[in-house]
């Protein structure tokens, strides 16, 4: 799981609240993390692999939205691998991990592993948060016809730049002036917690607002395309709204336990003695949410693919030579749906003269198609309601 307590535990003189959760059934907790991360990792990769029985369809250009969705999944996969590696070492080499607690120890490798693995997990999940924020921004800009492939470069700069900067700043303040004195006062810990939870809270607060504005803009586009708002277009708008709702629902389910747990642990840190009897229920709640975090945090990757694409099936097609794969199509001018779920180009065989006469309608259909990617029924309704389709 991803928590700033992972970095705090690397300090030999860690606070009592961190000691409480990290020492609570560590074998069980690491086993839960390995199991949840492994299941999520395998199912996420299964979701992204091409499937048999699907006819390839192409679009004129790869959308930045589809690239962002793939990058979110990649961040989740790499973050899950970090959890599996860290928990496996924790279980397999208890003597190695025990040296982390040695004050003024001469062996720095345990502390280096502790800090490095914790930073890897935090950085990847923080980048995933920023990519999710970029997806909300891009969805709104696509509908407003202000985004394109060129913006993906800006998203890369913002996402990785902010993730590295915040992670590095938080770690530097936590471990200043040295690893052995990183927890001597809250002035070291609080900035680290803020930099960890800032992107998470940003997604929780800002993304619903951007999604709501995008849904409103989609409704306006659908009305303006033909001057009427048919039942098919109303259903398409509803499905896009449901898609955004699923994304936020997964995010809230996977990360609300982190906010609750951190609030409880921070309250315990404020007490002179966390082992007092009146604090028993708070300690129990903190330990329960700690285990829940180990289950839900790694599952975000798989649950997000369900929200993005739906269930893509079990029948994997490994005939790579016949089609582009996901990481190749990102840099190509065309992309196959079987590489990974992607927007549908339902106008690929239209004559050039018809394309010129219906440019505005195409731009509207392409923008909405990007938002409904991976949803076959939505794409079919959008095709049939298109004035180009009706004019054939």
- 3-state SS assignment for residue 231: helix
On whether the CB atoms of residues 346 and 369 are closer than 8 A, the answer is yes
Angle (nearest 5°) at CA 305 between 300 and 307: 90
CA 18/CA 264 separation, integer angstroms: 11
- 3-state SS assignment for residue 286: helix
Mean pLDDT within 376-380? 49
CA 335/CA 146 separation, integer angstroms: 22
- How deeply is 271 buried, as exposed, middle or buried, from its count of CB atoms within 10 A (0-12, 13-18, 19+)? middle
* Backbone φ and ψ of 344, nearest 5°: -100, 135
Q: pTM of the entire structure? A: 0.81
Domain boundaries, the chain: 4-51+64-309
CA 37/CA 42 separation, integer angstroms: 9
- How deeply is 378 buried, as exposed, middle or buried, from its count of CB atoms within 10 A (0-12, 13-18, 19+)? buried
Mean pLDDT within 365-378? 57
Summarised one tens digit per residue, pLDDT across range 318-346 is 775 443 433 333 333 333 344 444 443 43
Mean pLDDT within 47-67? 68
* Backbone φ and ψ of 53, nearest 5°: 80, 10
On whether the CB atoms of residues 89 and 366 are closer than 8 A, the answer is no
Residue with tokens 């730049």: 161
Whether the per-residue pLDDT at 192 is higher than 90: the answer is no
φ/ψ bin of 344: left (φ > 0), alpha (ψ from -120 to 50), beta (otherwise): beta
Whether the per-residue pLDDT at 55 is higher than 70: the answer is no
Q: How high is the mean pLDDT of the chain?
A: 78
Residue 148, number of CB atoms within 10 A of its CB: 13
Residue 388, number of CB atoms within 10 A of its CB: 17
Buried b (16+ CB within 10 A) or exposed e, 100-117: bbeeeeeeeebbebbbeb
Confidence of residue 17 (pLDDT cuts 50, 70, 90): confident
Query: What sign does the CA torsion over 43, 46, 48, 54 have?
Result: negative
Summarised one tens digit per residue, pLDDT across range 122-144 is 999 999 999 999 999 999 888 87
How is residue 320 written in tokens?
Answer: 């790579």
CA 208/CA 234 separation, integer angstroms: 20
CA 382/CA 392 separation, integer angstroms: 15
On whether the CB atoms of residues 239 and 378 are closer than 8 A, the answer is yes
Q: Could you say which of 3.40.50.2300, 1.20.1070.10, 1.20.58.100, 3.40.50.1970 is the CATH number of the domain covering 4-51+64-309?
A: 1.20.1070.10
Residue 88, number of CB atoms within 10 A of its CB: 13
Tell me the longest C-alpha to C-alpha distance in the chain.
79
Buried b (16+ CB within 10 A) or exposed e, 311-349: ebeeeeeeeeeebbebeebbeeeebbbbbbbbbbbbbee
Residue 51: strand pairing partners: 316
Which of these, 177, 74, 176, 174, lies nearest to 118 by C-alpha position?
174
**pLDDT, position 16:** 85
Residue 316: strand pairing partners: 51
Summarised one tens digit per residue, pLDDT across range 80-102 is 999 999 999 989 888 777 777 65
Mean pLDDT within 284-293? 94
Confidence of residue 175 (pLDDT cuts 50, 70, 90): confident
């Amino acid at each position: 799981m991803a928590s700033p307590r992972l970095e705090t535990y690397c300090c030999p003189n860690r606070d009592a609240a961190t000691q409480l959760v990290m020492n609570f059934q560590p074998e069980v907790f690491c086993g839960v993390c390995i199991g949840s991360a492994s299941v999520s990792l395998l199912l996420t990769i299964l979701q992204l692999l091409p499937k048999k029985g699907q006819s390839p369809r192409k679009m004129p250009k790869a959308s930045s939205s589809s690239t962002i969705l793939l990058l979110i999944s990649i961040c989740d996969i790499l973050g899950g691998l970090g959890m599996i590696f860290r928990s496996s070492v924790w279980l397999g080499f208890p003597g190695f991990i025990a040296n982390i607690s040695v004050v003024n120890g001469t062996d720095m490798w345990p502390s280096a592993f502790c800090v490095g693995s914790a930073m890897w997990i935090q950085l990847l999940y923080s980048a995933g948060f920023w990519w999710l924020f970029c997806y909300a921004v891009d969805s709104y800009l696509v509908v407003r016809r202000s985004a394109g492939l060129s913006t993906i470069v800006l998203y890369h700069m913002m996402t990785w730049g902010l993730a590295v900067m915040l992670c590095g700043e938080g770690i530097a303040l936590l471990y200043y002036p040295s690893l052995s004195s990183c927890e001597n006062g809250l002035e070291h810990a609080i900035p680290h917690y803020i930099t960890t939870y800032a992107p998470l809270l940003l997604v929780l607060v800002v993304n619903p607002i951007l999604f709501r504005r995008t849904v409103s803009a989609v409704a306006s586009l659908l009305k303006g395309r033909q001057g009427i708002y048919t039942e098919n277009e109303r259903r398409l708008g509803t499905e896009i709204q449901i898609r955004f709702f699923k994304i936020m629902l997964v995010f809230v389910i996977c990360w609300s336990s982190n906010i609750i747990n951190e609030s409880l642990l921070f309250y315990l840190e404020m007490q002179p003695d966390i082992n007092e009897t009146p604090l028993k229920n708070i300690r129990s709640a903190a330990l329960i949410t700690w285990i829940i975090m180990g289950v839900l945090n790694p599952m975000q990757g798989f649950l997000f693919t369900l929200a993005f694409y739906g269930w893509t099936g079990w029948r994997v097609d490994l005939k790579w030579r016949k089609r582009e794969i996901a990481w190749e199509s990102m840099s190509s001018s065309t992309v196959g749906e079987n590489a990974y779920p992607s927007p549908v180009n339902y106008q690929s065989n239209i004559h050039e003269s018809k394309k010129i006469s219906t440019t505005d309608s195409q731009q509207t259909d392409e923008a909405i198609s990007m938002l409904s990617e991976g949803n076959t029924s939505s794409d079919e309704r959008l095709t049939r309601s298109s004035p180009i389709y009706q004019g054939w």
